[in-house]
């Protein structure tokens, strides 16, 4: 089950399409969906979580809490709509493309992909690009 929650004025236009895309991505990576809760919020909301839970006093676009066990995917993904808008401008892409990238980025982390090293980040980016191409 995928739940979309909104702590800001933003609302996804295509929850059903995004849900199917996420489920298909998880299945393609040989995992099974239990539950993912997406929370769309603003910078202030996400900053508080970043400080409280991760001890990072910085703005970020996404924070994910992974409760997965083995290949059973479960977690909470918090996305700052403000950060995504700013990042889209910085990267020269549309807001919706950057939003989709962030949405699937969290899922790929749950599927075991990392992005701390240059090599891992390249693998992650390649996966993101692949799944973005499948959605569009």
100 annotated as a binding-site residue = no
31 annotated as a binding-site residue = no
What is the C-alpha separation between 42 and 23, in angstroms, rounded?
26
Sequence-ordered list of residues with C-beta below 8 angstroms from that of 8, at least 6 positions apart, any chain: 40, 41, 42, 45, 81
105 annotated as a binding-site residue = yes
Burial 20-35 (b: 16+ CB within 10 A, else e): ebbbebbeebebebee
Dihedral sign computed on CA atoms, order 21, 14, 113, 36: negative
Tell me how long the chain is.
136
Q: Which residues are annotated as a binding site for Zn(2+)?
A: 105, 109, 115
Q: Which residues are annotated as a binding site?
A: 105, 109, 115
């Amino acid at each position: 089950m995928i739940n979309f929650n909104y702590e800001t004025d933003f609302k996804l236009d295509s929850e059903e399409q995004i849900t199917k895309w996420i489920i298909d991505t998880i299945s393609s990576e040989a995992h099974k969906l239990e539950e993912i809760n997406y929370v769309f919020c603003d910078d202030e909301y996400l900053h508080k979580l970043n400080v409280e839970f991760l001890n990072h006093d910085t703005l970020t676009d996404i924070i994910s809490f992974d409760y997965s066990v083995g290949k059973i995917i479960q977690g909470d993904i918090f996305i700052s709509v403000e950060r995504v808008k700013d990042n889209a401008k910085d990267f020269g892409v549309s807001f919706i493309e950057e939003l989709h990238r962030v949405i699937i980025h969290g899922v790929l982390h749950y599927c075991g992909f990392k992005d701390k090293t240059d090599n891992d980040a390249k693998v992650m980016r390649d996966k993101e690009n692949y799944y973005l191409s499948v959605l569009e």
